[in-house]
Structure 1
Amino acid sequence: MEKYNIIVDNEDNFRLDKIIALNMKDLSRTMIQEMINRGLVSVNGKITKASYKTKLNDQIEIMIEDNTELDIEPENIPLKIVYEDKDIIVVDKPTGMIVHPSPGIIKGTLVNALLYHCKDLSGINGVNRPGIVHRIDKETSGLLMIAKNDAAHRSLSNQLKTHSVTRRYVALVHGVIPHVQGKIDAPIGRNPNDRQSMTVTRTNSKNAVTNFTVIKRYKNMSMIECRLETGRTHQIRVHMSYIGYPVYGDPKYGRRKDDFSYGQFLHAKKLGFIHPTTRKYMEFESELPDYFKDKLNELEEEIKDE
């Protein structure tokens, strides 16, 4: 299931099915009405009818099933492929690219690019996410593993579940962290005051653990490496903001005066796993994007000028 949220920003009192159709143009009215009838749509937390007249600031939540087929087309979008064989692909995703389509976003995603590059992708995660084993946020850059067949998908998914996959992220955060290492053990759930964001909460939350090591301290910032024990939505971003060291450039959990041109400065730098067929351990590493390096050079110059 995929959640999609709409906040009503007009006072025209449209029918519920119409306001959804206006916001999710890739879903037919028949499909929308069927979803409403099946209880997959709620308004302000309550199931209602298609004829419900929406009001200003109503919060509509739509649950999209994995087998809800969107009109996804292959697109000739450049891909940075780190490794590829008959079972898997490892790609280095740029910042600004969404991993897979969702209602309202059916072009320009990694899946669109993969469908053009490769005709055979696993189907375990549904028709809208062929080959996708795990995700990183739109503005997060770095390494992702893609499955070309279902057997490879099952193997990689199982490794993720048992936490045997090596995943290391590099982040630039506000503040000078005094200690070398830290562990954040705080449950994460959807923010009841903002359904588009996550927060540390005890209500409707899941266990979340982030380990970090300070790599470099600057005048007012720190560069850290993070290792996840769990894989919650926005986990690093939420956890670092929670302890007072938000990720630089984060438009959702960061600071208002940041440069948001590239999104959060968070990079999936290292990825290691056991190959589904050869059973040999493979590990890949990605260089920081140029904009990330430029910012670090800028911070280095500030230290020299002191």
Structure 2
Amino acid sequence: MSKKQQRANKKQEHSLIYIVKEQTELLPFLLEMMRNRSRNSVKSILTRGQVTIDDHIETKHNYSLHPGQTVTILKNKSAIKENALIGMSILFEDADIIVINKDAGLLSIATEKEKNQTAHHQLMEYVRLENPANRIFVVHRLDKDTSGVMVFAKSEKIKRILQNNWKSMVKERTYVALVEGEVTKTQGYISSWLKESKTHLMYSSQTKNDGLHAITHYKSIQTNKEFSLLEVQLETGRKNQIRVHMQDLGHPVVGDKKYGAKKKAIGRLGLHAKVLAFKHPSTDQPLLFKADVPKSFVNKSK
């Protein structure tokens, strides 16, 4: 049995999995399912990010649950320590890198408000179980509400190799985006110069060299009158690039109120890093990692 399978089995052993039968809110549902626990205990399980709904971590007490959704609860503190990782799974690990599949709702790195419940912090704790001197280094980031493939380095040297040669080493970086409305063009691309406002909102300029040049290619996977599922490839990797370019297209990413979305149809941002292919920083071996498209994206765009 592979390390990955062992970790998955261990996580299942320490998880409670429930299928929602009728419409309700998250906290009352958890209190009903975990009658042996006090209200405060259940609230703290929610706050610590131990509850996943379908494909995202959820901490809101009044989150609306619908029949057919899957609620997964990581049982307790000892389970957390034993599993080490909340809101992500390891896809690959060797002496130089760790590649993960991150859930929506988990921060990549620390913010002023949250220091511990991040992919970086958890991986740091994970590698230190083997040797307290071990460390983890951030190579790139995914937004908190974006899920999918991410790579971390195990040394400063490997981090520098990956960051300094990112454009030439990365062979494919494919996202899927669930967007509002029916995208009638089967494929196309958006090109603009991205700038940041004083309120940290990114926006497009069509004036040449007025900002950082960004190019996004898209292809329709499936669509209906309300939603479209797009495969998106980045020619450049700018801050919030897909989110801005989907707004420019007139089809903002689902749940992305910041960039024009009107609906919060799936309880999360409709953006997922599906494929990351790159050359190994030490061996030059080609590596390709995939994270399955969230079911909620597929179901909404059928």
Which TM bucket (shorter chain)? 0.5 to 0.7
3-state SS of the aligned residue for 1:222? strand
Partner deviation per Cα, 1:23-51 (whole Å, 9 max, x = no partner): xxxxxxxxxxxxxxxxxxxxxxxxxxxxx
Q: Check whether the contact 2:229–2:297 (CA below 8 A) recurs between aligned residues.
A: no
8 Å CA contact retained: 2:228, 2:301: no
Distance 2:106 2:134 in 1: 19
Seq. identity, %: 35
Q: Does 1:114 align with 2:118?
A: no
Q: What is the alpha-carbon distance in structure 2 between the residues aligned to residue 236 and residue 253 of structure 1?
A: 10
2:104 — aligned with what? Answer: 95
Change (3 A) 1:204 1:282: same
- How is 1:1-306 mapped onto 2 (pairs within 5 angstroms)? 76-78=84-86, 79-119=88-128, 130-162=136-168, 164-192=170-198, 195-201=199-205, 205-259=211-265, 261-262=267-268, 264-289=269-294, 293-300=295-302
Shift of 1:196: 3.2
Q: Following TM superposition, by how much is the alpha carbon of 1:197 offset from its aligned partner in structure 2, in angstroms?
A: 1.8
The aligned amino acid for 2:115 is I
Provide TM-score, normalisation by structure 1. Answer: 0.64
SS in 2 for 1:245: coil
Q: CA deviation at 1:151?
A: 2.7
- 1:86 deviates by 0.5
Pair 235,275 (structure 1): closer, same or farther in 2 beyond 3 Å: same
Instruction: Quote the offset at 1:190 in angstroms.
Output: 1.0
Paired with 2:301 and 2:139, the residues of 1 have a C-alpha distance of: 36
Judge conservation of contact 2:169–2:278 (CA < 8 Å) in 1. no
- Structure 1 unaligned runs (5+)? 1-74, 123-129, 301-306
2:228 maps to amino acid? S
Match of 1:6 in 2: none
Tell me the secondary structure at the aligned position of residue 105 of structure 1: coil
Q: In the TM superposition, what is the alpha-carbon distance from 1:221 to its structure 2 partner?
A: 2.0
* Amino acid of the structure 1 residue aligned with 2:296: D
More helix by proportion, 1 or 2? 2
Q: In the alignment, what sits opposite 1:67?
A: none
TM superposition score normalised by structure 2:
0.65
1: CA distance between counterparts of 2:146 and 2:192? 22
User: Any conservation in 2 of the 1:170–1:267 contact (CA below 8 Å)?
Assistant: yes
Deviations 1:228-274 (A, max 9, x none): 11111111001110120111111311323333622x11100001111
Q: CA contact under 8 A between 2:92 and 2:98: conserved in structure 1?
A: yes
Cα distance in 2 for residues equivalent to 1:82 and 1:251? 31
Letter aligned with residue 93 of structure 1: K
Matched residues in 1 for 2:301 and 2:108: separation? 31
Amino acid at match of 1:251: K
The range that moved more, 100-109 or 82-91, is 100-109
